[in-house]
Chain A
Amino acid sequence: MKRELAWLDRVIFAFAAFFFIAPLIAAAEYSVRGYGNKGHTFANYSWIIHQLGFSAALWTSLRISIITILIVLVLVVPTVVYVHLGGHRYRRLLEIVCLLPIVIPVVSLAIGAQVAMPKNLQSTSYELCFFYVVVALPYVYRSLDIGLQSVALSTLVEASQSLGADWFKTLTMVIIPAIRSSTTGALFITFALSLGEYTLAVLLHFHTFPTWATNISQENIYGSIAISVTTLGGAWILLIFVAFLPRIKSLFARKERVA
């Protein structure tokens, strides 16, 4: 099997790129149209910032997203690490459990949550954090699982322990750095999901950034398209940034060594 790209592969990439980029470009073009479809302008992007309630809504969503990734960091990451280290026999079980949220429609989860959750939990928007963790779980698990598979975890742990480190030091100074890129990727997917999630927030009667944005742009179609393009494009840029982070870091490290 040759490893360079044959012309056929380039054609495949070209087709794929066209199919996936064309809708994004089309939506972006729509979002920069001027009033009455005359000319183009970036005013639709700055419009949202000047609306009443922008910073309050954005701050609410940011708070919720931060708490969500903290829960993921504290609850999910150690569990997946654990299952790769000591609880091997339960790895299959955890995999099944983490796939469950894919098949549960979010609408049903919201309806059930309204009936099941205690009323004082339902009165704070932080209730959403827990459900966002549930919704993000399949993607988080997958990312962590793949990252942990490619690391010789037990070897690292043995080496670290033979050098005298306790469990906490091993976890924070050996394991987490080893899976840093997949952890950061998982956290960023969670962050992007929490920031842009609409259905659960609206059905549970909370006012987050997406619900506020939908409300405020009822009469401004260009504005609402600008928001969805920003959400999608922003998420992508964030993920690319995260993926390139190790590259950038090693670039700096190399410079330091040379200097």
Chain B
Amino acid sequence: MVIADELAAPTRTTGGSGSSRLSIKFDRSVLGLLPIFLFLGYFLLYPIASIISSSIHDNKHHLTLSLYGNLFSGNYRTAFTGSFKLAFYSMIVSGIAGAIICWAVVKTNGIVRTITSSAAGVLANTGGVPLAFMFIAAFGQEGLITKLLLNVFHWDLYGGSFDLYNFWGILLVYCFFQVPLMVIIFTPALENLRVEWVEANESLGGSKSQYFRHVLIPVLLPSFISACLLLFASAFSAFATAAAMSNGSIPLVPLFIGNLVNGNVIAGQENQGDAMAMGMVIVSLFVIAAYLLLLRVTRKR
């Protein structure tokens, strides 16, 4: 644990010039974090520890990593690939769409701004069956918008290959909570773009495209990528929405976990389901770590 490292490492005494002896000082400022660490340790890490424990034991209670090994082959691998693909494309689409909307949002203030930011907060938290139903009610076979497009614009949404329940349809539904999330995360970065930089660029004789290439992109890119990483983690671990939108004809990790842990057909393999869930967590943790690393880079500016 990081805390332990910080405590164990020799620290300078605050304010002093640093004694020549290497003394391990207890940094009292960490005590302020103790309540929340204890809270999370008990109510988050402890339950997850039991899941981890179940995922490293097989049905006969022998310690084993085979359940994790299974994730790299066969249909579990297909599920992870499917979830990866969905999260990746969702990240790209929502990232770009969200950034464009952000661009417009930062130019507003007052009432419009308040409404959009509170809307983003609510929309980013929607998911599961309510979200799926809303989309079906709007864009489904007999949806409101589908009928509108058919009757008013004579455009049969379902005449072609559009389908709310194939890969791209599910991606569309994901955008509903991904794009607001992007708006929430990325707005501060755009707001930090200083007007002085535009003026500096102009006074140095730079054109709009040069501003774009040499100022805007280098400044925004790290924040954009880190925001996208957060989108990826969020899409990858989206559980309830995937379950509500797919019947299994598109392989996704949450659906497999549901079959193993809450199903009616396969019995006694909850450990494998727990291993899959932990697999999901590990992937998301890697992505979040990358996000935080990038954030450190941008904060230095």
Contact = CB atoms under 8 A, between A and B. Distances in A.
B10 interface: no
Contacts of B179: 16
Given A20-B123, A108-B277, A116 B44 contact: no
A10 B79 CA distance: 40
Contacts of A83: 32-33
Contacts of A1: 193, 195, 198
B3 to A, nearest CB: 7
Nearest to B126: A232
A50 interface: no
A22 B126 CA distance: 15
8 contacts: A2-B107, A23-B138, A23-B176, A26-B143, A75-B36, A104-B237, A139-B125, A228-B133
Contacts of B36: 75-76, 79, 94, 97
B100 interface: yes
A93 B7 CA distance: 14
Interface string B109-137: 00000110111011101101111011101
Nearest to B3: A93
Contact of A232 (B122, B137, B233, B280): B122
Nearest to A131: B43
Contact of B29 (A13, A89, A108): A89
Interface residues of A, number: 78
A97 to B, nearest CB: 6
Contact of B292 (A95, A131, A242): A95
Interface stretch (A40-48, A58-66, A159-167, A233-241): A233-241
B33 A23 contact: no
Interface stretch (B17-25, B46-54, B152-160): B46-54
B134 A27 contact: yes
Question: Which 4 residue pairs spanning A and B have beta carbons closest together?
Answer: A112-B47, A26-B138, A103-B284, A23-B134
Contact of B44 (A16, A93, A96, A101): A101
Contacts of B121: 139, 185, 189, 239
Interface of B: 2-3, 29-30, 32-33, 35-37, 39-40, 43-44, 46-51, 54, 100-101, 103-104, 107-108, 114-115, 117-119, 121-123, 125-126, 128-131, 133-135, 137-139, 143-145, 175-176, 179-180, 184, 188, 193, 195, 198, 233-234, 237, 239-240, 254, 257-258, 261-262, 270, 274, 277-278, 280-281, 284-285, 288, 292, 296
Interface of A: 1-5, 8-9, 12-13, 16, 19-20, 22-27, 29-30, 75-76, 79, 82-83, 86-87, 89-90, 92-97, 99-109, 111-113, 115-117, 130-131, 133-134, 137, 139, 142, 146, 185, 189, 192-193, 198-199, 225, 228, 231-232, 235-236, 239-240, 242-244, 247
Contacts of B32: 79, 82-83, 86-87, 90
Dominant SS among interface residues on chain A: helix
Nearest to B148: A22
A12 B257 contact: no
A244 B110 CA distance: 10
A119 B288 CA distance: 34
A137 B128 CA distance: 20
A138 B101 CA distance: 23
B52 to A, nearest CB: 9
A225 B240 contact: no
A12 B116 CA distance: 13
A112 B48 contact: yes
B137 A30 contact: yes
Given A20-B123, A27-B137, A29-B144, A94 B239 contact: no
